[in-house]
Amino acid sequence: MSEIEIVEQGILEETLTAAMQSGGSFAEVFIEDKRSTTAVLDDGLVEELNNGRDRGAGIRVVVGETTGFAHTADLSPAGLLKAAAAASSAARGDSQTNIEVSLSGGAASDISEIKTLPQQVSKSKKVALLKLADETVRNTELPITQVAARYGDSHRVIQIANSEGKLTGDRQIRSMFSVSCVASGDAGLQTGRESVGRTVGFELFDEINVDEVALKAANRAVTKLDSVPAPSGEMPVVVGPGGGGVLFHEACGHGLEADLIEKSASVFAGKQGEMVAAPNVTLIDDGTMVGEWGRFAIDDEGNSASQNVLIENGILTDYMWDWFRARKHGRLSSGNGRRQSYRHLPMVRMTNTFLTAGEENPQEIIADTDYGVYVAQLGGGQVNTATGDFVFGMTEAYLIENGKLTSPIRDGNLIGNGPQALLDIDAIAKDFAMGSPGTCGKDGQGVPVGDGTPTLRVKRLTVGGTAT
């Protein structure tokens, strides 16, 4: 592909030169042009059909430990210079300098290998996918009372230039589809959801069947109609492939981000080189995973995405780093500097975070569990990174009795401690899978992330249910 250029190189050089005039040690211009489409169908009616565009620049100036930041939707030379002056003033040093910035960037990247650009597909074809999902469920005899389907795509182009001479860019295209169904029965109303999303174009719908996505959501809701209250107490918990990855993203991943380490706001601070998990546990964050939701070529500071081994065979090997924290420690960024949009400063964020596969048979792990809970999908939760304590809702889970999956359960939470859960993993299967596409929230910013696990067993977690 040709080089990405939203703003001409000469204008970027002039902007960076102006940003450095107040004595800055580093300046950066982040340009973003993002187009998106959202379509929502609820009970057969199209409730939402929107096209959006967000375009602008964020300018960062660093003076020692002080960072000045300004953003603007005006990408004219005058608009950029005004924002540069504002950022420079916010981080003003003791003396003015006259540093001319010359950019010599590498080629822009396009790792998505897009076959069909979503913006080239008609709205009617996108709406037809929603209607197919709705009709597929309606044509069954399942006791479904409500069907909602959502389509989304985004086309994000970024261009990054900084005072160290870096000039680069990236094109990130994502497509997603989700279906939510409500079933009605003796147990009241129960909801089931299924979503798919990849860093690909409209060819996503050559790879998946919308009707299968819809039926998974419907059957998940119907299964819950026979659910029993979740048990209470400490017991073994088997986490299914893909669906439990969010547990380790939240309970462990955030605690391995260098900004929290730096502030001693993580239970993992100061433990590099120590055994922090069971010997069979390897945890990786990988922004290079082809097609996955957290995939990109460069992060939002212009550094290449990479595969970062965080925990290897139970030993904490490294943290995730953005440019700002890495510079202070005399090392390179790990490609984890991300931001929600040009209006935000970058911070350390995960990409695709997962536990690697083991060697065991998933069915044998269940058979070897006399009594406990099998979690197929986790919902939202909370984690205290300073202690590692967490609480997660279970959106699809089953009792394990005498080594077999029996009744589906409802109204239950998983309660535990991330570091302790890592130590208590006593079985890992070979059936690795990535989970559904996610949006990770941190300090008011959301970015697309992926997570995954094979089937694994934590020998003890607290299940907070309502069964007596």
CATH tag, 9-226: 3.30.2290.10
pLDDT-derived band of residue 1, with 50, 70 and 90 as boundaries? very low
| pLDDT of 174 above 80 | yes
Nearest CA to 225 among 265, 259, 193, 185? 185
For the stretch 131-163, pLDDT in tens is 999 999 999 999 999 999 999 999 999 999 999
Give the mean model confidence (pLDDT) for residues 431-444: 95
What b-and-e string marks burial along 357-382, b requiring 16 or more CB atoms within 10 Å of the CB?
bbebebeebbebbeebbbbbbbeebe
pLDDT score for 295: 97
Q: How far is CA 146 from CA 13, 87, 184, 214, 450, in A?
A: 55, 50, 9, 12, 28
Share of the chain above pLDDT 90, in %: 87
- What digits encode the pLDDT tens for the residues 108-130? 555 557 899 999 999 999 999 99
Over residues 383-388, mean pLDDT = 92
Residue 379 has pLDDT above 60, yes or no: yes
The predicted structure's pLDDT at residue 23: 83
- CA-to-CA dists, residue 200 to 4, 32, 334, 336, angstroms: 18, 19, 24, 21
Mean per-residue pLDDT for 427-450? 96
CA distance 302 to 454: 32
CB atoms near residue 79 (< 10 Å): 15
**In the 8-state DSSP scheme, what is residue 335?**
S
Q: Tell me what the mean pLDDT of segment 441-449 comes to.
A: 96
Burial class, 238, CB count within 10 angstroms (exposed 0-12 / middle 13-18 / buried 19+):
buried
Mean pLDDT of the region 61-86: 94
- 55 forms beta bridges with 33
Q: Where are the domains of the chain?
A: 9-226, 228-464
